[in-house]
Chains A and B, each alone.
Chain A
Amino acid sequence: KAGVTQTPRYLIKTRGQQVTLSCSPISGHRSVSWYQQTPGQGLQFLFEYFSETQRNKGNFPGRFSGRQFSNSRSEMNVSTLELGDSALYLCASSSGQPNQPQHFGDGTRLSIL
């Protein structure tokens, strides 16, 4: 069974640009969650999509947005990039039930110059 696939693995952008990250969940998983990981703040929840609808949202500004397609693939978009957006962005998929573990991808490492 293929795992969670995130593309690209690495990305370098400059301030003010926008970026789109992609996540393909494990087959059959309907929930996709996004996390930001930085050395200072640790792992922070961005949002969760379930059946194409945003079900939960963390405390991030509106520059961070996402969507989910009918095949459960998800994209995350960050607009007007800031230096502080440099981080490892992790995607996780699950069945969507709270008792089920989330399975994570390798992440996209985003560097802002």
Chain B
Amino acid sequence: AQKVTQAQTEISVVEKEDVTLDCVYETRDTTYYLFWYKQPPSGELVFLIRRNSFDEQNEISGRYSWNFQKSTSSFNFTITASQVVDSAVYFCARSQKLVFGQGTRLTINP
């Protein structure tokens, strides 16, 4: 099976620290898409970002940034100056048929 692996099951940091969530994927497709979703305690998965396989440009959106490295099949997510509201479970996913990683539970402590 072509898996998505999020090796970090849980991460706990103090507010204002930077934190990086790792994601490694497997695929035999030449064209594919990568996503990050956030699941707050309410349960709904919220779409954060999409990256296609032929665009390795990193992206920054406010305190969030994503580092896509095709050579290592990784799509890591960094939160700078974390806040308590960032506490959630974060999922990395890959299409074509959407396959999710196991998720990383991120807790930001005040």
User: Which residues of A approach B to under 8 Å, CB–CB?
Assistant: 33, 35, 42-43, 45, 48, 56, 88, 90, 92, 98-107, 109
Given A43-B103, A99-B52, A105 contacting B44 (CB threshold 8 A) = yes
* Set A45, A88, A105, A109: member contacting B98, Cβ < 8 A: A45
> Are the C-beta atoms of B50 and A101 separated by less than 8 Å?
yes
Q: How many residues of B contact A (CB 8 A)?
A: 22
Please indicate the chain A residues that have their CB under 8 angstroms from the CB of B97 in the complex. 45, 48, 56
Q: B31-66 interface mask toward A, CB cutoff 8 Å, 1 = contact, 0 = none?
A: 011010100001111110010100000000000000
Q: How many A-B residue pairs have CB under 8 A?
A: 46
User: Which residues of B approach A to under 8 Å, CB–CB?
Assistant: 32-33, 35, 37, 42-47, 50, 52, 91, 95-103
> Are the C-beta atoms of A33 and B44 separated by less than 8 Å?
no
The main secondary structure of chain A at its interface with chain B is strand
> Are the C-beta atoms of B100 and A43 separated by less than 8 Å?
yes
> Are the C-beta atoms of A106 and B42 separated by less than 8 Å?
yes
